[in-house]
Each structure stands twice: as structure tokens, then as C-alpha cells.
Amino acid sequence: MTSMDEENEELDQEGESSETTSLISSAVFEAFQNPSNRDDQVFSAISGNGELKVTAATTRNAVNDLMIQHTMTAVPADALGRAITCSLLLSNGIQAEQTFQLTLNCDGPLRVIVAIANGEGGVRGYVGNPGIGDMPLPEAIGKGTVQVVKNHPDWPNPYNGITAIEHRDIDRDVGIYLAESEQRSCALAAATTVKGILCTSSGGYIVEQLPGCSSETIQRVEKNLAQLAKRDGTGKLPAGLLADGVTPLEICSIVLDGLDMEPLGQIKPELVCKCSEERLFRAVRLLGKEEVDDIIAKAEEVEARCQFCGKVYRMGPTELAKSFAEAKGDPSKDSDFEENSK
């Protein structure tokens, strides 16, 4: 490329950047502004021709809260940050009570990575080993499987899908799952940056081709994604963008530049856990009568720690005996448990 061509390309890119800035500054997008990614946010938009959907998220606050709850070091926080981001991106647009669970079972030091999100932006997650030392993320993950479970209270059975871990960086492995197990044409990226005991940025995006997507639209979005990667500049997209405070709205506007972006909506992700004393008692009832009688006879205390939020629950022998005397239904059946918990 000659210097004149390079200069013209730079001028074209500056013009496109100016148009994008003007677009997202309009009144239509005012409600979706999130300066410097102050708040956690999931924003989604669609191209004007209805051929592409883009969803982008920032999840830094959630990751910092998870680091505190689980006393996580940098590598586990990086893994869990990517996992909850992917779960929030892929659960965007589902029904409020529907859930999306992402699990990586692996033979590396992390052992397991779990993230669950619902259609309202509620999310929770944990890793098998939250305190491992510094090492490359692929080494911490190792080999294993990516498993996705989608569920809804009204479904007779959940949907399950599974693929092998190949890249060991979570987002690309989830992308492989989408292509192989669900035959979805997507571009997915997630990144988390941790410095010391603080997550400084976390988030990602997914670009999905919708039915009838034309070759012209594909060519345009490929050009836009190349521009996005160039602006990121880290080789670990979108780590650089998030570190610079580029918001989900801005990411979507770059991806859909020239395609008449229309907003679909936004949600504010929040850590939500379903643990309770009732769930602890349900688990105790599943132990078997002889084992429970032995616990009561020895006047031992039952203690359980929630894997998702770290909260500790305790039941003494007197309380345990009283709860058993009043217990109804079958603890192995969700319907009985939910009815008796009301």
C-alpha cells in the first residue's frame, strides 16, 4: 500500500469514527450511555436490515464482588470473569425465568468453572480452585469439556450440549461450542484484566448472523471487526477497548458502523444467589435417616458453605430435629421443595 493509499484509508476511518460518535450521541441512545463503564451493563442492538444482532457487556463490578466473596487470585478471577461475561451475553434475550449455565470441567488446577445467568441479568458463578498462583490461563484450565445447560421451569427437560475444550481461554471455546453444537454463526470475545487484588476491566461482545444475512452485510461487519481489533491493539480483544473505557454502546456502534444500528435494550447485571437455609435442610434430608439421626445423637452442628456466594449456613441438632419433625414432601423433587419453601 502506498503512503497516499494509507493516508486516504486513515481519513476514511476518521470519517467513519466521527459518524459513529455522532450517532451514539443522539437522543435515541442517550439512555444507553455508560461513561467509563462505571456501571455493569449488557447492551444489545440490531442492524437496520435485521441481519445482525450485536450484544456487548461490561462486568467489572461483578468480578470485583466475586473476588471478594471467593478470595480469588488473578487467574481464577480472569477465568470466572470471562465465564460470567459469556453467560450474560448468551442469555441476553431469553425469558426472565429461563437460565443459561456454562460449565468447563477441566484437568488443570482450576478444575471447574461455572457461570449461570438468567434472562433478567442475574448471574452467579464459582471456580474449583480460587486461590491458585500466577500462571497462563490455558495452563490453569487444561483439557476438558465445555457444557451448556439451558432450562426453564415449564420445560419437561433441560437442553444440554457439550464440546471439547480446545483453546483453553473460555471465549473461543464457547465460540466453538456455538458453532459445533448449536450451528450458530457468531463472533464472540471476552476478556478480564486483573491488577493485584482489583479487576480493572471485564467484558466482551457477541456478533450473531440472523437468518437471511447477506454477503454484503457479512463483508461490512468483517471490515468493522477488523477496525475494532485494530483499535483494541492488544491482541486480546476486547481487553484494550475495555481498559480505555470503551462502553458496550460504543462497541456495538463500531461493529454495526454503516449498518444503521437500532437499539434493542439494556440490562444491569447483578450477582444473584439462590442459596438459603431451606436449601441446606433439603440437602441434609437427602443424606438418609440413619446418618441424620447419628448427627443429632452426637449433638453435632451441620455446616455448609454456598459455592456461589460463599455464605455459610449452620444448623444445630435441636433445630435439625425440629425441622425434620415438621418436614413435608419429597426433598428429591423440586416441585415439593418449592411448594414447601413458599
pLDDT in tens, 220-241: 999 999 999 999 999 999 999 9
pTM score, whole prediction: 0.87
**17-40 residue pLDDT tens:** 555 666 677 889 999 999 999 999
What pLDDT was estimated at residue 175?
Answer: 97
What pLDDT was estimated at residue 336?
Answer: 53
Percent of the chain exceeding pLDDT 90 equals 72
**Per-residue confidence band for 1, with pLDDT thresholds at 50, 70 and 90:** very low
How far apart are alpha carbons 28 and 22 in whole angstroms? Answer: 11
Q: State the average pLDDT over residues 165-188.
A: 97
What pLDDT was estimated at residue 3?
Answer: 45
**Per-residue confidence band for 6, with pLDDT thresholds at 50, 70 and 90:** very low
CA-atom Rg of the chain in angstroms: 23
**52-78 residue pLDDT tens:** 999 999 999 999 999 999 999 999 999
What pLDDT was estimated at residue 19?
Answer: 58
How far apart are alpha carbons 63 and 65 in whole angstroms? Answer: 5
What pLDDT was estimated at residue 342?
Answer: 47
Judge whether residue 263 has pLDDT over 60.
yes
Which stretch of 9-13, 30-34, 161-165, 236-240 has the lowest confidence by average pLDDT? 9-13
How far apart are alpha carbons 234 and 222 in whole angstroms? Answer: 18
Judge whether residue 341 has pLDDT over 60.
no
Phi (first) and psi of residue 135, to 5 degrees = -165, 160
Q: What is the mean pLDDT of the chain?
A: 89
Judge whether residue 88 has pLDDT over 70.
yes
Q: Which of 66, 68, 111 is nearest to 85 (CA)?
A: 66
What pLDDT was estimated at residue 27?
Answer: 87
Q: Quick check: bond before 238 cis, omega within 30?
A: yes
Cα angle, residue 125 at apex, residues 122 and 126 outer, rounded to 5°: 165
At 268, list the grid cell: 444491569
At 148, list the grid cell: 451448556
Q: Which residue has the higher pLDDT, 302 or 86?
A: 86
What pLDDT was estimated at residue 18?
Answer: 52
Kindly give, in sequence order, each residue whose CB lies less than 8 Å from that of residue 293, ignoring residues fewer than 6 positions away: none
